[in-house]
Protein backbone atom coordinates (compact mmCIF):
# COMPACT_ATOMS: atom_id res chain seq x y z
CA UNK A 1 0.00 0.00 0.00
CA UNK A 2 1.30 3.40 -0.79
CA UNK A 3 0.13 6.21 1.44
CA UNK A 4 -0.41 9.91 0.98
CA UNK A 5 2.72 12.01 0.89
CA UNK A 6 3.03 15.57 2.06
CA UNK A 7 4.57 17.65 -0.64
CA UNK A 8 5.64 21.25 -0.57
CA UNK A 9 5.82 22.81 -3.96
CA UNK A 10 8.08 25.64 -5.04
CA UNK A 11 7.99 28.93 -3.17
CA UNK A 12 9.97 32.15 -2.94
CA UNK A 13 10.27 34.96 -0.44
CA UNK A 14 10.80 38.65 -0.78
CA UNK A 15 10.92 41.44 1.80
CA UNK A 16 9.37 44.88 1.50
CA UNK A 17 9.83 48.00 3.66
CA UNK A 18 6.96 47.38 6.04
CA UNK A 19 6.24 43.76 5.48
CA UNK A 20 7.79 40.46 4.75
CA UNK A 21 6.06 39.17 1.66
CA UNK A 22 6.28 35.56 0.75
CA UNK A 23 4.92 34.25 -2.47
CA UNK A 24 4.20 30.61 -2.34
CA UNK A 25 2.38 28.11 -4.40
CA UNK A 26 -0.25 25.97 -2.82
CA UNK A 27 0.77 22.69 -1.35
CA UNK A 28 -0.88 19.55 -2.52
CA UNK A 29 -1.20 15.97 -1.52
CA UNK A 30 0.33 13.33 -3.66
CA UNK A 31 -1.04 9.93 -3.20
CA UNK A 32 -0.07 6.52 -4.29
CA UNK A 33 -2.37 4.35 -6.27
CA UNK A 34 -4.30 1.28 -5.27
CA UNK A 35 -7.08 0.96 -2.73
CA UNK A 36 -6.38 0.42 0.92
CA UNK A 37 -7.58 -2.95 2.02
CA UNK A 38 -8.51 -3.62 5.59
CA UNK A 39 -5.86 -6.22 6.35
CA UNK A 40 -7.81 -8.59 8.50
CA UNK A 41 -6.50 -11.80 6.92
CA UNK A 42 -8.98 -14.31 5.62
CA UNK A 43 -10.62 -16.50 8.19
CA UNK A 44 -11.48 -20.11 7.54
CA UNK A 45 -12.47 -23.27 9.44
CA UNK A 46 -9.99 -26.06 9.59
CA UNK A 47 -10.58 -28.83 7.09
CA UNK A 48 -12.07 -31.97 8.63
CA UNK A 49 -9.45 -34.52 9.68
CA UNK A 50 -10.51 -37.88 11.10
CA UNK A 51 -9.61 -38.49 14.78
CA UNK A 52 -7.76 -41.69 15.56
CA UNK A 53 -8.34 -41.55 19.37
CA UNK A 54 -10.02 -39.33 22.06
CA UNK A 55 -6.82 -37.34 22.62
CA UNK A 56 -6.54 -36.60 18.93
CA UNK A 57 -10.26 -35.79 18.83
CA UNK A 58 -9.72 -33.15 21.56
CA UNK A 59 -6.89 -31.65 19.57
CA UNK A 60 -9.12 -31.54 16.52
CA UNK A 61 -11.85 -29.77 18.48
CA UNK A 62 -9.33 -27.19 19.68
CA UNK A 63 -8.25 -26.57 16.13
CA UNK A 64 -11.79 -26.38 14.75
CA UNK A 65 -12.25 -22.68 15.53
CA UNK A 66 -12.04 -19.77 13.14
CA UNK A 67 -8.43 -19.05 12.53
CA UNK A 68 -6.33 -17.27 9.95
CA UNK A 69 -5.81 -19.53 6.94
CA UNK A 70 -2.11 -18.73 7.09
CA UNK A 71 -1.86 -20.73 10.35
CA UNK A 72 -4.20 -23.61 9.62
CA UNK A 73 -1.68 -25.63 7.64
CA UNK A 74 0.66 -25.52 10.66
CA UNK A 75 -2.05 -26.69 13.03
CA UNK A 76 -3.07 -29.52 10.75
CA UNK A 77 0.53 -30.50 10.64
CA UNK A 78 0.74 -30.35 14.47
CA UNK A 79 -2.25 -32.67 14.80
CA UNK A 80 -0.77 -35.06 12.30
CA UNK A 81 2.53 -34.96 14.22
CA UNK A 82 0.76 -35.78 17.51
CA UNK A 83 -1.02 -38.73 15.92
CA UNK A 84 2.16 -40.02 14.34
CA UNK A 85 4.24 -39.60 17.54
CA UNK A 86 1.63 -41.26 19.73
CA UNK A 87 1.49 -44.17 17.36
CA UNK A 88 5.25 -44.49 17.53
CA UNK A 89 5.05 -44.27 21.36
CA UNK A 90 7.19 -41.10 21.34
CA UNK A 91 6.31 -37.85 23.13
CA UNK A 92 4.66 -35.36 20.76
CA UNK A 93 6.93 -32.64 19.40
CA UNK A 94 5.09 -29.44 18.77
CA UNK A 95 6.07 -27.64 15.59
CA UNK A 96 6.36 -23.89 16.08
CA UNK A 97 3.71 -22.07 14.04
CA UNK A 98 5.23 -19.69 11.50
CA UNK A 99 5.17 -16.10 12.70
CA UNK A 100 2.46 -14.04 11.07
CA UNK A 101 3.96 -11.23 8.99
CA UNK A 102 3.70 -7.93 10.87
CA UNK A 103 1.70 -5.32 9.04
CA UNK A 104 3.75 -2.17 8.50
CA UNK A 105 1.94 0.61 10.31
CA UNK A 106 1.89 4.09 8.91
CA UNK A 107 1.09 7.08 11.09
CA UNK A 108 -2.50 8.23 11.23
CA UNK A 109 -4.16 9.51 9.07
CA UNK A 110 -2.31 7.91 6.18
CA UNK A 111 -3.82 4.50 6.81
CA UNK A 112 -7.27 6.06 6.59
CA UNK A 113 -6.71 7.19 3.04
CA UNK A 114 -7.54 5.08 0.13
CA UNK A 115 -7.08 5.66 -3.51
CA UNK A 116 -7.71 9.02 -5.03
CA UNK A 117 -9.87 8.61 -8.08
CA UNK A 118 -9.83 11.41 -10.54
CA UNK A 119 -13.34 11.36 -11.91
CA UNK A 120 -13.42 14.65 -13.73
CA UNK A 121 -9.84 15.26 -14.64
CA UNK A 122 -9.78 18.23 -12.28
CA UNK A 123 -11.02 16.75 -9.06
CA UNK A 124 -9.66 14.14 -6.70
CA UNK A 125 -12.05 12.22 -4.52
CA UNK A 126 -11.07 10.14 -1.58
CA UNK A 127 -12.77 6.81 -1.70
CA UNK A 128 -13.07 5.43 1.76
CA UNK A 129 -13.92 1.83 2.33
CA UNK A 130 -16.95 1.08 4.41
CA UNK A 131 -15.08 -1.06 6.88
CA UNK A 132 -12.72 1.77 7.63
CA UNK A 133 -15.16 4.46 8.66
CA UNK A 134 -18.37 2.61 9.47
CA UNK A 135 -20.01 5.59 11.10
CA UNK A 136 -19.23 8.23 8.52
CA UNK A 137 -16.51 10.81 8.52
CA UNK A 138 -14.74 10.45 11.87
CA UNK A 139 -14.72 13.30 14.31
CA UNK A 140 -10.93 13.34 14.09
CA UNK A 141 -11.26 14.25 10.45
CA UNK A 142 -9.16 17.19 11.51
CA UNK A 143 -6.35 14.66 11.35
CA UNK A 144 -3.77 17.24 10.53
CA UNK A 145 -0.60 16.92 12.57
CA UNK A 146 0.44 19.49 15.12
CA UNK A 147 4.10 20.58 15.20
CA UNK A 148 4.55 18.14 18.08
CA UNK A 149 3.54 15.30 15.78
CA UNK A 150 0.27 14.81 17.63
CA UNK A 151 -3.01 14.67 15.78
CA UNK A 152 -4.73 18.05 16.06
CA UNK A 153 -7.76 18.36 18.33
CA UNK A 154 -11.13 17.23 17.16
CA UNK A 155 -12.93 19.82 15.06
CA UNK A 156 -15.64 21.63 16.98
CA UNK A 157 -18.26 20.92 14.36
CA UNK A 158 -21.06 19.00 16.08
CA UNK A 159 -22.65 17.26 13.13
CA UNK A 160 -21.25 14.26 11.35
CA UNK A 161 -21.69 14.22 7.61
CA UNK A 162 -24.41 11.72 7.00
CA UNK A 163 -25.37 11.72 3.40
CA UNK A 164 -22.16 10.88 1.65
CA UNK A 165 -22.55 7.14 1.86
CA UNK A 166 -23.42 5.75 -1.49
CA UNK A 167 -25.18 2.45 -0.87
CA UNK A 168 -24.78 1.30 -4.44
CA UNK A 169 -21.03 1.62 -4.32
CA UNK A 170 -20.60 0.14 -0.81
CA UNK A 171 -18.15 2.85 0.03
CA UNK A 172 -18.09 6.36 1.35
CA UNK A 173 -17.49 8.98 -1.25
CA UNK A 174 -15.82 11.91 0.35
CA UNK A 175 -17.38 15.08 -0.98
CA UNK A 176 -14.47 17.47 -0.56
CA UNK A 177 -12.13 18.05 -3.40
CA UNK A 178 -8.66 19.22 -4.23
CA UNK A 179 -7.61 21.11 -7.23
CA UNK A 180 -4.92 19.73 -9.37
CA UNK A 181 -1.49 21.11 -8.80
CA UNK A 182 -1.79 23.67 -11.55
CA UNK A 183 -4.42 26.35 -11.86
CA UNK A 184 -6.67 26.56 -14.87
CA UNK A 185 -4.44 29.16 -16.49
CA UNK A 186 -1.41 26.92 -16.02
CA UNK A 187 0.39 29.18 -13.54
CA UNK A 188 1.39 27.92 -10.15
CA UNK A 189 2.28 30.91 -8.05
CA UNK A 190 -1.13 32.24 -7.25
CA UNK A 191 -0.85 33.01 -3.59
CA UNK A 192 1.19 35.34 -1.44
CA UNK A 193 1.51 35.82 2.29
CA UNK A 194 2.07 39.34 3.58
CA UNK A 195 3.06 39.77 7.19
CA UNK A 196 2.71 43.18 8.82
CA UNK A 197 4.36 44.45 11.97
CA UNK A 198 1.17 45.12 13.87
CA UNK A 199 -2.60 45.24 13.56
CA UNK A 200 -2.62 48.92 12.58
CA UNK A 201 -0.36 48.39 9.58
CA UNK A 202 -2.29 45.23 8.70
CA UNK A 203 -5.58 47.18 8.69
CA UNK A 204 -4.01 49.90 6.57
CA UNK A 205 -2.82 47.28 4.09
CA UNK A 206 -6.27 45.62 3.94
CA UNK A 207 -7.82 49.02 3.09
CA UNK A 208 -5.06 49.84 0.56
CA UNK A 209 -5.51 46.50 -1.19
CA UNK A 210 -9.29 46.98 -1.23
CA UNK A 211 -9.05 50.52 -2.66
CA UNK A 212 -6.48 49.60 -5.27
CA UNK A 213 -8.54 46.62 -6.47
CA UNK A 214 -11.62 48.84 -6.63
CA UNK A 215 -9.84 51.46 -8.74
CA UNK A 216 -8.31 48.84 -11.00
CA UNK A 217 -11.62 47.10 -11.58
CA UNK A 218 -13.62 50.30 -12.14
CA UNK A 219 -11.03 51.48 -14.65
CA UNK A 220 -11.19 48.15 -16.50
CA UNK A 221 -14.87 47.20 -16.27
CA UNK A 222 -16.77 50.21 -14.91
CA UNK A 223 -17.74 48.48 -11.64
CA UNK A 224 -16.30 46.75 -8.61
CA UNK A 225 -18.04 43.86 -6.88
CA UNK A 226 -16.85 42.84 -3.43
CA UNK A 227 -18.10 40.25 -0.94
CA UNK A 228 -17.28 40.88 2.72
CA UNK A 229 -17.14 38.67 5.80
CA UNK A 230 -17.94 39.66 9.35
CA UNK A 231 -16.09 39.49 12.63
CA UNK A 232 -13.06 41.65 13.42
CA UNK A 233 -12.60 42.41 9.72
CA UNK A 234 -15.31 45.05 9.81
CA UNK A 235 -13.32 47.19 12.21
CA UNK A 236 -10.23 46.80 10.02
CA UNK A 237 -12.14 48.16 7.05
CA UNK A 238 -13.04 51.40 8.83
CA UNK A 239 -9.96 52.95 7.23
CA UNK A 240 -11.79 52.92 3.88
CA UNK A 241 -13.39 56.18 5.01
CA UNK A 242 -9.97 57.81 4.63
CA UNK A 243 -9.90 56.60 1.03
CA UNK A 244 -13.30 58.10 0.20
CA UNK A 245 -11.86 60.39 -2.47
CA UNK A 246 -9.74 57.70 -4.13
CA UNK A 247 -12.56 55.47 -5.36
CA UNK A 248 -15.76 56.12 -7.33
CA UNK A 249 -17.98 54.47 -4.71
CA UNK A 250 -21.10 54.85 -6.85
CA UNK A 251 -19.73 51.99 -8.97
CA UNK A 252 -19.10 49.69 -6.02
CA UNK A 253 -21.44 46.72 -5.30
CA UNK A 254 -21.23 45.17 -1.83
CA UNK A 255 -22.28 41.59 -1.04
CA UNK A 256 -21.92 39.43 2.04
CA UNK A 257 -19.89 36.27 1.66
CA UNK A 258 -21.70 35.17 4.78
CA UNK A 259 -24.23 36.77 7.06
CA UNK A 260 -25.95 35.91 10.32
CA UNK A 261 -29.72 35.43 10.09
CA UNK A 262 -30.99 38.53 11.86
CA UNK A 263 -32.32 41.98 11.27
CA UNK A 264 -29.98 44.72 10.04
CA UNK A 265 -30.47 46.53 13.34
CA UNK A 266 -29.42 43.48 15.38
CA UNK A 267 -25.98 43.66 17.03
CA UNK A 268 -25.06 40.38 15.28
CA UNK A 269 -25.71 41.69 11.78
CA UNK A 270 -22.49 41.96 9.75
CA UNK A 271 -24.11 44.34 7.27
CA UNK A 272 -25.52 46.49 10.09
CA UNK A 273 -22.10 46.72 11.77
CA UNK A 274 -20.37 47.58 8.46
CA UNK A 275 -22.96 50.27 7.66
CA UNK A 276 -22.33 51.91 10.99
CA UNK A 277 -18.54 51.52 10.78
CA UNK A 278 -17.86 52.72 7.23
CA UNK A 279 -20.34 51.79 4.49
CA UNK A 280 -22.82 54.61 5.20
CA UNK A 281 -20.00 57.18 4.96
CA UNK A 282 -18.75 56.07 1.57
CA UNK A 283 -21.75 57.05 -0.51
CA UNK A 284 -22.41 53.63 -2.00
CA UNK A 285 -25.90 53.72 -3.58
CA UNK A 286 -28.50 52.01 -1.37
CA UNK A 287 -29.36 49.52 -4.14
CA UNK A 288 -25.73 48.45 -4.52
CA UNK A 289 -25.49 47.09 -0.98
CA UNK A 290 -27.02 43.61 -1.07
CA UNK A 291 -28.15 42.55 2.38
CA UNK A 292 -30.09 39.44 3.40
CA UNK A 293 -33.70 39.30 4.47
CA UNK A 294 -33.24 38.20 8.08
CA UNK A 295 -36.97 37.75 8.65
CA UNK A 296 -37.14 34.68 6.39
CA UNK A 297 -36.48 31.08 7.45
CA UNK A 298 -32.82 30.35 6.85
CA UNK A 299 -33.20 28.23 3.70
CA UNK A 300 -35.49 30.82 2.10
CA UNK A 301 -33.10 33.60 3.10
CA UNK A 302 -30.30 31.77 1.27
CA UNK A 303 -32.44 31.25 -1.83
CA UNK A 304 -33.59 34.88 -1.78
CA UNK A 305 -30.01 36.15 -1.49
CA UNK A 306 -28.91 33.95 -4.38
CA UNK A 307 -31.90 35.31 -6.30
CA UNK A 308 -30.64 38.87 -5.77
CA UNK A 309 -27.27 37.89 -7.19
CA UNK A 310 -28.84 36.08 -10.14
CA UNK A 311 -30.89 39.15 -11.05
CA UNK A 312 -27.79 41.26 -11.63
CA UNK A 313 -26.69 41.69 -15.20
CA UNK A 314 -23.59 39.92 -16.38
CA UNK A 315 -21.95 43.31 -16.88
CA UNK A 316 -22.01 43.67 -13.12
CA UNK A 317 -21.66 40.05 -12.10
CA UNK A 318 -20.20 37.95 -14.91
CA UNK A 319 -20.31 34.16 -14.74
CA UNK A 320 -17.77 31.42 -15.26
CA UNK A 321 -18.30 28.63 -17.78
CA UNK A 322 -19.72 26.63 -14.87
CA UNK A 323 -22.25 29.37 -14.23
CA UNK A 324 -20.62 30.65 -11.07
CA UNK A 325 -20.51 34.38 -10.29
CA UNK A 326 -17.15 36.11 -10.71
CA UNK A 327 -16.73 38.64 -7.91
CA UNK A 328 -13.87 41.11 -8.21
CA UNK A 329 -12.83 40.66 -4.58
CA UNK A 330 -13.76 38.39 -1.69
CA UNK A 331 -12.51 39.44 1.74
CA UNK A 332 -12.37 36.63 4.28
CA UNK A 333 -11.58 36.45 7.97
CA UNK A 334 -10.65 33.10 9.48
CA UNK A 335 -11.84 31.51 12.70
CA UNK A 336 -9.60 29.59 15.13
CA UNK A 337 -10.90 26.34 13.61
CA UNK A 338 -9.89 27.60 10.15
CA UNK A 339 -13.46 28.31 9.06
CA UNK A 340 -13.92 30.95 6.42
CA UNK A 341 -17.24 32.61 5.58
CA UNK A 342 -19.72 30.30 7.38
CA UNK A 343 -18.02 27.21 5.97
CA UNK A 344 -17.06 25.26 9.07
CA UNK A 345 -14.79 22.20 9.28
CA UNK A 346 -16.22 18.87 8.11
CA UNK A 347 -19.65 20.19 7.32
CA UNK A 348 -21.84 19.36 4.40
CA UNK A 349 -21.84 23.00 3.23
CA UNK A 350 -18.18 22.56 2.31
CA UNK A 351 -18.91 19.79 -0.15
CA UNK A 352 -19.01 20.49 -3.84
CA UNK A 353 -22.30 22.10 -4.61
CA UNK A 354 -22.29 23.12 -8.23
CA UNK A 355 -25.97 24.07 -8.39
CA UNK A 356 -26.11 26.64 -5.60
CA UNK A 357 -24.24 29.86 -4.92
CA UNK A 358 -25.59 30.53 -1.45
CA UNK A 359 -26.37 27.96 1.23
CA UNK A 360 -28.30 28.04 4.49
CA UNK A 361 -26.36 27.09 7.62
CA UNK A 362 -28.08 25.76 10.73
CA UNK A 363 -26.39 24.70 13.97
CA UNK A 364 -23.37 26.84 13.23
CA UNK A 365 -20.60 26.07 15.74
CA UNK A 366 -20.02 29.83 15.94
CA UNK A 367 -23.06 31.71 17.20
CA UNK A 368 -25.53 32.83 16.07
CA UNK A 369 -26.50 29.39 14.88
CA UNK A 370 -28.39 30.33 11.71
CA UNK A 371 -26.53 31.94 8.84
CA UNK A 372 -26.21 31.98 5.09
CA UNK A 373 -22.94 31.53 3.25
CA UNK A 374 -21.58 31.62 -0.27
CA UNK A 375 -20.10 28.28 -1.33
CA UNK A 376 -16.39 27.55 -1.61
CA UNK A 377 -16.85 27.31 -5.37
CA UNK A 378 -18.19 30.87 -5.47
CA UNK A 379 -15.27 32.07 -3.34
CA UNK A 380 -12.83 30.27 -5.62
CA UNK A 381 -14.35 31.83 -8.72
CA UNK A 382 -13.45 35.35 -7.58
CA UNK A 383 -10.76 37.43 -9.28
CA UNK A 384 -9.01 37.94 -5.97
CA UNK A 385 -9.45 36.59 -2.47
CA UNK A 386 -7.97 38.25 0.62
CA UNK A 387 -7.61 36.11 3.72
CA UNK A 388 -7.05 38.24 6.80
CA UNK A 389 -6.05 37.07 10.29
CA UNK A 390 -4.74 39.02 13.25
CA UNK A 391 -3.71 38.35 16.83
CA UNK A 392 -1.92 35.67 18.82
CA UNK A 393 -5.12 33.62 19.03
CA UNK A 394 -4.87 32.86 15.29
CA UNK A 395 -1.16 31.93 15.30
CA UNK A 396 -1.61 28.19 15.63
CA UNK A 397 -4.32 27.86 13.02
CA UNK A 398 -2.41 30.06 10.57
CA UNK A 399 0.58 27.74 10.99
CA UNK A 400 -1.56 24.65 10.47
CA UNK A 401 -3.26 26.03 7.40
CA UNK A 402 -0.07 27.27 5.75
CA UNK A 403 2.34 24.57 6.77
CA UNK A 404 0.41 21.32 7.21
CA UNK A 405 -1.74 19.76 4.56
CA UNK A 406 -4.83 18.41 6.28
CA UNK A 407 -7.53 16.09 5.13
CA UNK A 408 -9.87 18.04 2.88
CA UNK A 409 -12.59 19.69 4.89
CA UNK A 410 -10.68 19.67 8.15
CA UNK A 411 -9.31 23.15 7.57
CA UNK A 412 -11.69 25.02 5.27
CA UNK A 413 -9.17 27.84 4.76
CA UNK A 414 -6.95 25.37 2.91
CA UNK A 415 -9.67 24.94 0.31
CA UNK A 416 -9.48 28.61 -0.64
CA UNK A 417 -7.70 28.42 -3.98
CA UNK A 418 -9.03 30.85 -6.57
CA UNK A 419 -9.10 29.01 -9.88
CA UNK A 420 -8.28 31.98 -12.04
CA UNK A 421 -7.52 34.67 -9.52
CA UNK A 422 -5.08 35.38 -6.74
CA UNK A 423 -5.10 34.58 -3.05
CA UNK A 424 -3.46 37.12 -0.76
CA UNK A 425 -2.93 36.31 2.90
CA UNK A 426 -2.67 39.40 5.11
CA UNK A 427 -1.36 38.70 8.61
CA UNK A 428 0.02 40.67 11.51
CA UNK A 429 3.21 39.64 13.31
CA UNK A 430 1.26 37.89 16.06
CA UNK A 431 -0.87 35.69 13.84
CA UNK A 432 2.25 34.88 11.78
CA UNK A 433 4.42 34.10 14.80
CA UNK A 434 4.30 30.32 14.32
CA UNK A 435 5.05 30.12 10.61
CA UNK A 436 8.56 29.76 9.19
CA UNK A 437 8.44 31.26 5.68
CA UNK A 438 12.23 31.27 5.41
CA UNK A 439 12.16 27.49 5.29
CA UNK A 440 9.46 27.26 2.63
CA UNK A 441 12.05 26.73 -0.05
CA UNK A 442 13.72 23.96 1.85
CA UNK A 443 12.48 20.56 0.74
CA UNK A 444 14.16 18.92 3.70
CA UNK A 445 11.93 20.93 5.99
CA UNK A 446 8.87 18.98 4.81
CA UNK A 447 6.88 17.51 6.44
CA UNK A 448 6.91 20.24 9.06
CA UNK A 449 6.72 18.26 12.26
CA UNK A 450 10.41 18.56 13.10
CA UNK A 451 10.96 22.13 11.99
CA UNK A 452 12.06 24.30 14.91
CA UNK A 453 9.88 27.33 15.59
CA UNK A 454 11.30 30.68 14.45
CA UNK A 455 13.41 32.41 17.09
CA UNK A 456 11.77 35.51 18.52
Which residues bind to ligand 6PG, rule: CB under 6 A?
229-233, 258, 260, 270, 333-335, 339-341, 366
* CB nearer to ligand 6PG: pick between 128 and 209: 209
Taking each helix axis as running N to C, give the angle between helix 54-63 and helix 69-87, from 0 to 180 degrees, rounded to the nearest 10: 170
Nearest to 192 by CA among 386, 8, 336, 411: 386
Nearest distance from C-beta of residue 159 to ligand 6PG, angstroms: 18
Smallest distance, ligand 6PG to C-beta of residue 379, A: 11
- Residue 400 CB, shortest distance to ligand 6PG, in Å, is 16
Number of residue whose CB is nearest ligand 6PG:
231
For ligand 6PG, the closer CB: 141 or 331: 331
Instruction: Report the residue number, 145 or 327, with the smaller CB distance to ligand 6PG.
Output: 327
Task: Give the nearer residue to ligand 6PG in terms of CB position, either 270 or 384.
Answer: 270
- Least distance from C-beta 414 to ligand 6PG, angstroms? 15
Nearer to ligand 6PG, 171 or 270 (CB): 270
CA dihedral angle for residue 259, residue 260, residue 264, residue 267, rounded to 10 degrees? -120
Least distance from ligand 6PG to the Cβ atom of residue 6, Å: 27
For the bound state, the minimum distance from the C-beta of residue 332 to ligand 6PG, rounded and expressed in Å, comes to 6
Task: For ligand 6PG, give the closer residue by CB, 135 or 265.
Answer: 265
Shortest reach from residue 150's CB to ligand 6PG, in Å: 24
* Rounded Cα–Cα distance for residues 381 and 377 (Å): 6
* Nearest CA-CA partner of 271 in 291, 246, 297, 253: 291
Q: Considering beta carbons, is residue 32 or 231 the nearer one to ligand 6PG?
A: 231
- b or e along 211-248 (b: 16 or more beta carbons within 10 Å of the residue's beta carbon)? bebbeebbeeeebbbbbbbbbebbebbebbeebeeebe
How far apart are CB 381 and ligand 6PG at their closest, in Å?
Answer: 18
Residue (110 or 233) nearer to ligand 6PG, CB: 233
Q: How far is the CB of 230 from ligand 6PG (least distance, A)?
A: 3
Nearer to ligand 6PG by Cβ, of 147 and 231: the residue is 231
Amino acid sequence: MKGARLVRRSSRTRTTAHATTTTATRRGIERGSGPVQANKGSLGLRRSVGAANPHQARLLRLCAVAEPTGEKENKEQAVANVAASEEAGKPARKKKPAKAKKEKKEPWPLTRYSNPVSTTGKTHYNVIHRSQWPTGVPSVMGGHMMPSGEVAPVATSPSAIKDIYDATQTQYVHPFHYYEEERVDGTRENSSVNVHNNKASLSASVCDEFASKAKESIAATGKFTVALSGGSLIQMLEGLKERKQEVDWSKVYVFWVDERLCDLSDKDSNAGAAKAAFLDDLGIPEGNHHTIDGSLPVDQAARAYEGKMLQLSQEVLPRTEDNLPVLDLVVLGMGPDAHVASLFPNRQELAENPKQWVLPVSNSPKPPSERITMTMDVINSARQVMLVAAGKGKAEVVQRVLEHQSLPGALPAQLVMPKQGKLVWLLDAESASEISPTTWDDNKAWPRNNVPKPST
